[in-house]
Amino acid sequence: MTLSSAPGKVYLFGEHAVVYGEPAVPCAIERRARVGVERRSDGKLRVHAEDLSLDGFTVEYGASADDRPDVDVQESLLTAATQYVDSAIEQVREVTGKAEIGFDVTIESDIPLGAGLGSSAAVAVAAIDAGTRALGTTLEADELAERAYRTEHEVQEGQASRADTFCSATGGAVRVEGDDCRSIDAPDLPIVIGFDGGAGDTGELVAGVRRVREEYEFAADTIEAIGDVVRNGEDALAADDVEELGRLMNFNHGLLSALGVSSRSLDTMTWAARDAGALGAKLTGAGGGGCIVALDPTPETQTALSFTPGCEDAFRAALADEGVKRLE
């Protein structure tokens, strides 16, 4: 078995707007997806996943598209997870030139699926890393990020930025603007996450933002305003000004909400965090349900969130300095 892990992430700033070329600052957190692969002699791909906030599942299908079950990608998160693995293994086949290779793939993850913590990017990064290493090729982080980006791009039908996959491959805090991705310094942030137990449909949410952006000039302005918030956020990060970071996160949440990607539970959790004294709080990722990220050095926000109706889990997350980890 060849085993790799990759971290999830929170967006400090800039999700959605990053799809339109504005900068974004995600940062990797110590919640990981672990993907193990073993070669198969029959060219098939067999995926077994556990701990994806779903019951364990097993799906088996062949290397050719015709052999695959006729499934609707959006029908369930479970199906979506297998699509990411399928597409990631296609990247492995392409980069190694071994088109007929098959694998048994096992996924274990402590990142809730589709909840704004970068589960699909982490699975894609870890699967590509483990798959290529199993075939004797070790990719540099940049190449790994690029291949994982192509995976997300394919599964999300062209609607993906490089932010999630680059962050998961390299770890730490990163700045992404178009094709330009780089690591940046960040202080040790007091990150608290609230999870409503649900998930958003990234493709639908990105498409919704596209629609309002095309329809209303002020929605296009809102996206540009998010870019301005991100640029201010970068200055606050460079100055280690955590209070200003919090204020800007509140702004960012308001603008995302205006674009229609928040939800009642995400709004309730952000307000519960602020009421408890968090320096700032916002949704993270595509929205529609899932997680918020708050900054609070005290235990108050985590405690308040754990008693907030609609919040299923509240936890602290340390910054993950390391991206992909080669475990076996």
State CA 229 to chain mean position distance: 20
| Cβ within 8 Å of residue 207, ≥6 positions away | 159
Q: Is 122 annotated as a binding residue?
A: yes
Residue 44: φ, ψ to 5°? -90, 165
Residue 309: φ, ψ to 5°? -55, 135
Residue 295: φ, ψ to 5°? -115, 120
Smallest distance from ligand MEV to CB 226, Å: 10
Q: Is 115 annotated as a binding residue?
A: yes
Residue whose C-beta lies closest to ligand MEV: 161
Residue 15 or 90 with smaller CB distance to ligand MEV = 15
Q: Tell me which amino acid residue 313 is.
A: D
Closest CA to 84 of 173, 4, 147: 147
Q: Is 169 annotated as a binding residue?
A: no
Neighbours of 307 (CB within 10 A): 10
Residue 113 or 160 with smaller CB distance to ligand MEV = 160
Q: Is 120 annotated as a binding residue?
A: yes
Please give the structure tokens belonging to residue 203: 């493709």
Smallest distance from ligand MEV to CB 27, Å: 13
Length of the chain: 328
Are 35 and 43 spatial neighbours (Cβ–Cβ below 8 Å)?
no
Q: Which residues bind ligand MEV (CB under 6 A)?
A: 15-16, 18-19, 160-161, 163-164, 202, 206, 285-286
| Cβ within 8 Å of residue 308, ≥6 positions away | 194, 268, 269, 272, 314
Distance CA 295, CA 316 (A): 10
Could you list the active site residues?
164
Distance CA 194, CA 290 (A): 8
Residue 99 or 207 with smaller CB distance to ligand MEV = 207
Smallest distance from ligand MEV to CB 283, Å: 10
Q: Is 245 annotated as a binding residue?
A: no
Residue 10 or 130 with smaller CB distance to ligand MEV = 10
Are 168 and 7 spatial neighbours (Cβ–Cβ below 8 Å)?
yes
Smallest distance from ligand MEV to CB 304, Å: 25
Smallest distance from ligand MEV to CB 37, Å: 25
Residue 133 or 162 with smaller CB distance to ligand MEV = 162
Are 249 and 295 spatial neighbours (Cβ–Cβ below 8 Å)?
yes
Q: Is 81 annotated as a binding residue?
A: no
Q: Is 64 annotated as a binding residue?
A: no
Binding residues: 112-122
Residue list, annotated binding site for ATP:
112-122
